[in-house]
Amino acid sequence: MAVGFDIDHLAKLARLSLTAEEKALYSSQLNQILGHFQALADADLPATIDDARVVDEAALRSDEPGPVLGAEAVTRIAPASRDGQISVPRVVDDEA
């Protein structure tokens, strides 16, 4: 199990911006933790995976409309809103 992650790439995937200090710290800690995971690489494991289901019954409910929070409650907890809608930075340019 070769460990060779690119901390800049990982941070970008995770949508995190890290300082140089954080990059050094997390790189060293992740290397240490991944070293401990070597036991997984060495283990004799079954071919099947565990999909975490304890219950066999079909647990899906019927797809029917139910109560929802509503715009007032949702915009009250949003970081920014206007006219009953959540506002965000411009996503699409006018010129596009």
Partner 1 sequence: MADALHTLAAAELGRRLAAGALTSRALCGALLARYQAVNDKVGAFTHLDQADVLAQADASDARRQAGQGRGPLEGIPVAIKDNIAVKGQPLTCSSKMLAPLVSPYDSHVAERLRAAGAILYGRLNMDEFAMGSSTENSAIRKTLNPWDLARIPGGSSGGSAAALASGLVPLALGSDTGGSIRQPASHCGVVGLKPTYGLISRFGLVAFASSLDQIGPMARSVEDCELLLNALASADARDMTCFGPSDRTLTPGGDAQKLRIGIPKGFLGKGVAPEVAAAVKAAVEFYRAQGCAISEVELPSADLAVPTYYVVATAEASSNLGRYDGVRYGHRSATAGTPFEMMTASRSEGFGPEVKRRILLGTFVLSAGYADAYYVRALRARAKIRAEYLAALAGVDVLLTPTVPTPAFKVGEKASDPLQLYLEDIFTIPANLAGLPAISVPCGKSGHLPVGFHLVGAPLSEAKLLAAGRLFETAHGYAHQQPAL
Residues contributing to the site for partner 1 (CB under 8 A)? 1, 5, 7, 10-11, 13-18, 22, 26, 29-30, 32-34, 36-37, 39-41, 43, 45-52, 54-55, 57, 59-61, 69, 73-74, 76-80, 86, 88-89, 91
Q: Cβ 70 to partner 1, closest distance in Å? A: 9
CA atoms of 57 and 76, how far apart (whole Å): 38
Q: Are 41 and 73 in contact (CB under 8 A)?
A: no
Q: Are 3 and 33 in contact (CB under 8 A)?
A: no
Q: Cβ 57 to partner 1, closest distance in Å? A: 7
According to DSSP, the residues that pair with 81 across neighbouring strands are 86
